[in-house]
Structure 1
């Protein structure tokens, strides 16, 4: 796609104020695309179909990220409905963020494929930024301890900036990635214990990792006010997804971007320099 063509392309970015959507929006704007932010602040609500048409109408493409998880019980129905409405409104090019190794995500991916869209699925490994944004941060920042249900399994933590760059590249390469499921990961395997140790070195602090069973972590989530049905879903998700099935590298970043993915150490050093884990 030429730069002029990219500049004429309008992409709807769902979750535009969130962890992945904000980075996709930034990467899309940097590539010359016109970004139409879709979040509750802009009147878009995944749980209210009456809010969808105004956001989709007149756009060329859309990035879909479903809260709270692509494998949530209501995700397949919602993504399928939105995808069909998008196609009906002329927005055929859709890219869905999915989760690598998550069997519960497969119905949502299938709903996208069945919509008639020109689809691409980007299956991401565990985000490096889960350590710097979201519920895992406070423990590291306040007590110097990460208590989590990650056991001692290895994960190829992927930088969200790489995920965003891959999403935008798939949107601006015409039909090259239509009908494909791309898997993206970081360049090396780390356990959660090793990842926390790297964060500690970067932050100049003694940080520790304490693995706990998924149900015990679920009790902590319930104590934080997470609804019981969401706790039950997350416990089952962690029990399955964090069983070692993702202890391998994927070459999606290299395939799409023509370069190596960002290393976890780069993420840790940059985040520490920004003061993310200061007590």
Structure 2
């Protein structure tokens, strides 16, 4: 039986991948910097083996990967920076290569291979290129915009006031995916490596305009919500990186063939934005303390 190592196991994508693999009765080694956290305890209770791994500690990576067959690799610039993300991603790839893993699935970002100029897409592409050159059998999955972000941060702050504030025109479509579907797709790719090795796949579960999202959120929350387009200048004052991303969403757009993905991989069980919105605990989310940015 294969053992699948999953990095970022206590985060959104790694957690979803761990759960999807465990649901398929696979053996999972969940890697995390905080093996004593409540999130790690939850994974243990579900049947995962939890191990300490720190991207900046090569010895911990080598120990964590020893005896595993495949790896789900996720990196993030948030909480650090893009230079750190690229460095950590390369270190993880090098550890996987030295461990002679049979397959590495790296989760990047849709269009990251197209020269978007979005800093946190470019850093992921650096890791993608390093992975391709490493000699390890690889697959890159590249998710579109995360639905999960619509239930947190400044979006949630706006929804408390009955406003869906988003830095895009009301009629500009955006391809979307929830973490659960990224995990389901990653688990599928890990279990069917022969089919996916050497491929880069942009993934999304739905495509909606901000105007449509506003209606869907209003319906799920059960109260009127109005759309408000946030000026890019406002976003830029907070983050050049996010402003570049929203500018790309608005000008070029994230085209991902949702119809083909749903047709070709029905076992992923893609969730529409309406499915996702209906599954959120809005009363609890909306009554929690606002985030301060």
Whether the TM-score (by the shorter chain) exceeds 0.5 is yes
- In the alignment, which residue of structure 2 is the partner of 1:267? 276
CA contact (8 A) 2:100 2:136 kept: no
Aligned to 2:253: 245
Unaligned stretches of 5+ residues in structure 1: 1-7, 222-230
1:215 aligns with 2:224: no
For the pair 1:59 / 2:53, whether they are aligned, the reply is: no
C-alpha root-mean-square deviation of aligned residues, in Å?
Answer: 2.5
> Does residue 92 in structure 1 map to residue 102 in structure 2?
yes
Task: Describe the shift of the 1:183–1:31 C-alpha distance in structure 2 as closer, same or farther (beyond 3 A).
Answer: same
Q: Say if 2:33 and 2:54, in contact at 8 Å, map to a contact too.
A: yes
1:44 maps onto 2:50 in alignment: no
Deviations 1:182-221 (A, max 9, x none): 121124x2112321321111110222332223331243x4
Closer, same or farther in 2 for the Cα pair 1:253/1:91, shift >3 Å?
Answer: farther
- Aligned pairs, how many? 259
Equivalent runs, 1:74-113 vs 2, <5 Å: 74-102=84-112, 103=115, 104=122, 105-113=124-132
Residues of 1 paired with 2:23 and 2:167: CA distance? 37
Gap change, CA 1:260 and 1:169, over 3 Å in 2? closer
- Mapped to 2, the partners of 1:193 and 1:106 lie a distance apart of 31
Answer yes or no: is the 8 Å Cα contact 2:181–2:269 preserved in 1. no
State the 4+ residue runs in structure 1 displaced beyond 4 angstroms. Answer: 272-275
Instruction: Please give the per-residue CA displacement for 1:79-134, whole angstroms capped at 9, x wherever unaligned.
Output: 222112112113231101111123324322111111111111111111222212x4
Instruction: Decide whether the 8 Å contact of 1:200 with 1:207 is kept in 2.
Output: yes
**2:55 is the counterpart of 1:68:** no
Give the TM-score normalised by structure 1.
0.82
Aligned to 1:120: 139
Query: Structure 2 length normalisation: TM-score?
Result: 0.78
Larger % of helix: which?
A: 2
8 Å contact from structure 1 (residues 79, 108) kept in 2: yes
Q: Distance in 1 between matches of 2:12 and 2:268?
A: 23
Contact 1:145 1:210 in 2 (8 A): yes
CA distance in 2, matches of 1:208, 1:51: 49
More displaced 10-residue stretch of structure 1: 121-130 or 235-244: 235-244
